[in-house]
Structures are given as structure tokens and as C-alpha cells.
Amino acid sequence: MQQPQDTNPQWWQDTQDIPTIVRAIYECISGPAGAPRDWARFRFLQHPQARSLRTVVDADGGTRAVVFDVESYIVDVAPYFAANGFFEVEIDQRVERFGQVAHVWSRYEARESLESPVIKRGANSIQLCFEHGRWWVFSTVWDNEREGVSFDLW
């Protein structure tokens, strides 16, 4: 399938291979404090039924999942991005693909600026499906390193 005529050529290129779509996700959410994020591009990468799941560690040490659709994710992170610089950079990637379905383990580091120290590391589990001539993000699930959960145990 060719690129639809009303589509941004760069966005279409983002969806043509797995490493590129993953890099595009990171680019969409990264930026200095108060800088607008490219939510239109982010929406284009996501399937209309896409979900994101953030793991949360409560004060008592228990964990829970917070699930978002695309729009509720944007609403949730916008205040943080308005007040804080946030640059998430992939440091390792492992792709498993079967036919039109792919799973990506994407390990990352987050910083307040590209030059600042790492504030957290974690892993994204990204599920993709190829349909209509492009890759779509169907789900992203992530967790951050903490005591007892580290890349050293990976």
C-alpha cells in the first residue's frame, strides 16, 4: 500500500519498519520543559484502539497498573511535560516477529535534558501489528528499574 495523500511523509516513513516506529515514539514524548510534544505524530503511530499501561509502585511497596487509551495518556503526561524536561532514549532493543505481529523489548534511559544525568531506566514492551501497508502500535507496557527490578536481572 502506498502512503495516503493526506499523510505527512515523515510520519508515513515512521511506520514502515520496526526500529523507526520505536524511535518515533521516543521522539514524540521527549523534549524540554514546556515544549509542545508532537501529539499529532504520536496519534498517527498508534492504532485507534491502542492502549498504554504504566506500572506504579505504591507507598506500601505494592504494584498496580494504570491503563490509558491514547487520549487519556496525553492528558495524563501533559502537566509533567509542561513542568519538566523529559528525554527518553532507547539504549537496547530486542525484536521478535511472527508474520504481521511483532513484540519489541525496548530498554531506555530518561533524562531531564540530553546532557543531564539519568533520572530513571526502564523497559517498554511494545506490541505492533502490520496492516494497511504500515506498522501500528497496539500496546505499550512499561516498568522502571528499582530495588529488585533491574537490567542486571534481565
- pLDDT tens track for 15-54: 999 999 999 999 999 999 999 999 999 999 999 999 999 9
Please give the pLDDT value at position 85. Answer: 98
Please give the pLDDT value at position 119. Answer: 96
pLDDT in tens, 73-102: 999 999 999 999 999 999 999 999 999 999
Please give the pLDDT value at position 5. Answer: 63
pLDDT at 153 over 80: no
Angle at alpha carbon of residue 137, lines to 116 and 86, rounded to 5°: 15
Whether pTM > 0.75 for this model: the answer is: yes
C-alpha–C-alpha distance, residues 140 and 75, integer Å: 16
Instruction: Please name the fold of domain 10-153.
Output: Nuclear Transport Factor 2; Chain: A, (3.10.450)
Contact 69, 21 (CB under 8 A): no
